[in-house]
Amino acid sequence: MTIKDMQVGQRGKVARILKGSTAERRLFEIGIVPGVMVKLLSRHPFQGPLLLEIGNARIALGRKIAASVEVEME
């Protein structure tokens, strides 16, 4: 399952990133790395970004890149 497939309120642990090194580096810079727990807080309508909680931070992530982050559900 990917972050894009998660339902609001669900938590999961990042398992792996399915994109190239550029996307992987960008995700690393904002704290999305394998092993970290993420929680989906909200989905913006009309293919807008997803709002995630990672630790104490809230991060908006586009759906295209969210589809490349595989998670294991809690």
Domains of the chain: 3-73 (2.30.30.90)
pTM, entire model: 0.89
How much is the pLDDT for 47? Answer: 87
Residue 19 DSSP symbol: S
pLDDT band at 73 (very low <50, low <70, confident <90, very high): very high
What is the rounded average pLDDT for all residues in the chain?
94
User: Mean per-residue pLDDT for 37-50?
Assistant: 93
Q: Who contacts 1 (Cβ-Cβ below 8 Å, separation ≥6)?
A: 12, 70, 71, 72, 73
6-22: average pLDDT: 94
